[in-house]
Amino acid sequence: MRAVILAAGYGTRFECDLKNDSTGCYTHLMGVPKPLLPIGQKPLISHWMEIFEGVPGITSIVVVVNGLHKNKDTLLKEDFSLQLMRSKFNSLKKLHDECCLIVSAPVLEENVSKHGIIEVDDNCCVTGFIEKPLPTETQSRLQSPCIYMMSGASIHHIQTFLKEREDQPLHTRDATGLFVADLIKRIPVYAYHIEGRYDVGGLQSYIQCHEDFLKKCQ
């Protein structure tokens, strides 16, 4: 299994929060790539590397970056186990070789319009994806952070998705959730539910995440 860390975003929301922060306590974080932001006692990306290293089936780790800023802004709470998620994925592949398993986490009512929202049926099969909807547009309160498991047999759908949109505006393909919205029309996509996530995309959420991880080290 190959693990791919998507770290090619620009972190504009976080940088904007830092510029507008009147306390001056976080100016030292200006210009720091998100994977290197301190979370507890280590950089954010180190937490993910430890998770991947704890799964024997992962044979390589690929980090996708850009030339300006690097961005990986999600950490998960303690109930998440990559090993258990992988076991669930392997069970699903026995039913459909091209299936996909994505993480889903609860989202607060006031934050629905900030995230990609998934709708699922009673079998945890994803039936819909809505990018940053108004709370009135869906009854679902499940967000889908960009943590996906795909089999080798299903990888070709990424190329199909990009090929079909190569002549369309960038915004039709530059968010991973748009790929999920397309994928559920082609193959079974299932949701792996967890207790919650930390979104380190803004300053306040970063502070909360950092403090929580510091407490774990005490």
CATH assignment at residue 135: 3.90.550.10
Residue 170 or residue 63, greater confidence: 170
Q: Calculate mean pLDDT across residues 90-112.
A: 92
Residue 172 and residue 93 in one domain: yes
Residue 82 or residue 165, greater confidence: 165
Cβ(70)–Cβ(157) under 8 Å?
A: no
Give residue 214's pLDDT.
Answer: 86
Residue 149 and residue 90 in one domain: yes
How far is it, in rounded angstroms, from Cα 88 to Cα 185? 21
Residue 175 and residue 99 in one domain: yes
Cβ(83)–Cβ(55) under 8 Å?
A: yes
The DSSP element (H or E) to which 142 belongs, if any, is strand 142-143
* Confidence (pTM): 0.71
Give residue 56's pLDDT.
Answer: 84
Residue 68 domain boundaries? 1-73+200-218
Residue 198 or residue 117, greater confidence: 117
- On average, the pLDDT of the chain sits at 86
Q: Return the C-alpha torsion angle 82, 101, 138, 12, nearest 10.
A: 60
Q: Which amino acid is at 186?
A: R
DSSP assignment of 96-111: -TT-EEEEEEE--GGG
Give residue 47's pLDDT.
Answer: 87
Residue 155 and residue 47 in one domain: no
Give residue 70's pLDDT.
Answer: 44
Residue 177 and residue 213 in one domain: no
Total of domains in the chain: 2
| Alpha-helix runs per DSSP H in the chain | 12-20, 44-53, 82-95, 156-164, 176-183, 203-216
Supply the Cα-derived Rg of the chain in whole angstroms: 18
Q: Which amino acid is at 115?
A: H
